[in-house]
Structure formats: structure tokens, C-alpha cells
Amino acid sequence: MNLATQAKPAQVLMKAFSNACEHLKVSNTEKCAIIGVNPSTLSRNQQKGFAPQSKTGELQLQFIRLYRSLYAISGGDSAFMQHWFRSNNKALNAIPSHYVCSIVGLINTNEYLDAMRGKI
């Protein structure tokens, strides 16, 4: 593979974020809320992505982390993952799909999933 055809980190990040969102059935509106951009910005950057060290890139990384933790806990059961993401969680006192639309909610959800993974 030559240098011209290698994927850039921003593209890889966008692909991983998009895949995680697709598996959890996250809408474009929800994607925008999670990473803090408007729909036109997301659309414009769909191919080139966002730099991993940018604020948007960091939020994408946090969401991918959430997906990976949930995948590990559920054993990859897509139906369970989607149900968990859309159902009220008493420990978080929120519905994760709504809660992760704020930075605090995304971080708290990751901390919760990390703690749950530690129990397995």
C-alpha cells in the first residue's frame, strides 16, 4: 500500500464512529448532538473526518469507547445493545441515548460502563 492510498487517522475515526452509530441505530440528528456539530458540518466532513485531537474527534473517540464497552458487556448482542442504549438506566438516572448528547453524560456513561465491565 503506497502513501497515497493509506487512510488518514481522521478518516479511520469517522468510519469507526459511523459504524458504532449504525450498530446502535443512532440517527444523524443524534450523531450531531453527540459530537456537537450541525448536520451540514457532519455531512461536509463525512469523507475526510475530524482530527482525532480536535474536540469533535475526542467526542467521537469517547462514543467509540462507549460502544466497545457495551459490546464487551453484551457479548456483541446487537438487540441487547440497542435496547440498553434506548432504555432508562436507573444507575445513570437517564436514558443513555439522550444522556450522551452532553459531554458530562458521555463521560459518566463511559465511567459507568467501565465499572460494569470490571464486575464481569
Assess if residue 68 is contained within a domain: yes
How many domains are contained in the chain? 1
Assess if residue 34 is contained within a domain: yes
Could you report the per-residue pLDDT of 49-68, keeping only the tens digit for each? 999 999 999 999 999 999 99
Could you report the per-residue pLDDT of 77-108, keeping only the tens digit for each? 999 999 999 999 999 999 999 999 999 999 99
Of 73, 112, 68, nearest in space to 90 by CA: 112
Assess if residue 1 is contained within a domain: no
Assess if residue 2 is contained within a domain: no
Assess if residue 94 is contained within a domain: yes
Nine cell digits for residue 15: 468510519
Residue with cell 445493545: 81
Assess if residue 3 is contained within a domain: no
Q: Give the residue numbers spanning the domain of 85.
A: 8-119
Q: Helix 78-86 and helix 9-23: axis angle, to 10°?
A: 90
Its pTM stands at 0.92
Could you report the per-residue pLDDT of 17-46, keeping only the tens digit for each? 999 999 999 999 999 999 999 999 999 999
